[in-house]
Amino acid sequence: MPYIEVISHENSEGELKEIYDNLVKTRGKLADVHTIQSLNPKSIVNHMDLYMTIMFGKSPLKRVQREMMAVVVSKANDCEYCQMHHAEAVNHYWKDESKTEQLKNDYSKLTLTDVDTALCNFAKELTINPNHKNQESVENLKVVGLSDRAILDATLVISYFNFVNRIVLGLGLAVDEDELKGYEYD
C-alpha cells in the first residue's frame, strides 16, 4: 500500500486521464510507478520521456543489456518492485526463466559475455559505491570494447534506476504479480 494518496485510472480526470490513457495506449498498460506520481501529472510525462530516451532510444547498448543493468541496480538497492518488472523484460529477450532468476539472485554465477559481465559489475559498483574508483570502472568497460557513448548510456541507465528505486522504496510501492505482464518491450 503506497504511503501517499494515489489517483487511480478510473478516478482520473483532465490532464491526468489523458496521460494515463496515453500510457495504456503506448506501453500496453499503466504501471504503479506512474500512478504513484498522480498528484504531479507533469512529472509522469517527464519521467516517461527520460525513461523512453534511456531505455528505448538509439544506443550502442542492446535493450536487454539495459534491462539487465536495471535488475542489477535494483537488486543492489533491494528494490523488489523494479527487480521483478525488469527481470520480466530481460526474460522477454532471454526466454530462460532460470537464467533470469539467477540474474536477480547473483549475476556473477551466470555465464555472460565479457561485455555483459562488465556492465553488470559497473551497475553494481556505481550503485553501491557511487564515488569509488569510477575511473578504474570506466577503464574496465573500455577494455571489453565499449565506446564512450556506450559507457555514457550505461551510466544513464544505472543513474535512472537509482532514481526510480528511490521513488518506489520511498513511497512504498509493492510488487503486484498481476502488474508484471502485458507491457510492450520492443
Residues 1-47 have pLDDT tens digits of 899 999 999 999 999 999 999 999 988 888 899 999 999 999 999 99
Mean pLDDT, residues 48-75 taken together: 97
**What predicted TM-score, i.e. pTM, was given to this entire model?**
0.91
pLDDT of residue 174: 87
pLDDT of residue 136: 87
Does the structure show a pLDDT above 80 at 97? yes
Does the structure show a pLDDT above 80 at 113? yes
pLDDT of residue 180: 56
Does the structure show a pLDDT above 80 at 135? yes
Helices (H), 107-133: 114-128
pLDDT of residue 17: 97
Mean pLDDT, residues 92-112 taken together: 94
Architecture of the 63-170 domain: Up-down Bundle (1.20)
How far is it, in rounded angstroms, from Cα 86 to Cα 180? 9
Contact assessment for residue 168 and residue 13, using Cβ atoms and an 8 Å cutoff: no
Which of these, 134, 152, 122, lies nearest to 53 by C-alpha position? 152
List the chain domain ranges.
14-57, 63-170
Helices (H) and strands (E) in the chain, counts: 9, 0
Mean pLDDT, residues 92-108 taken together: 94
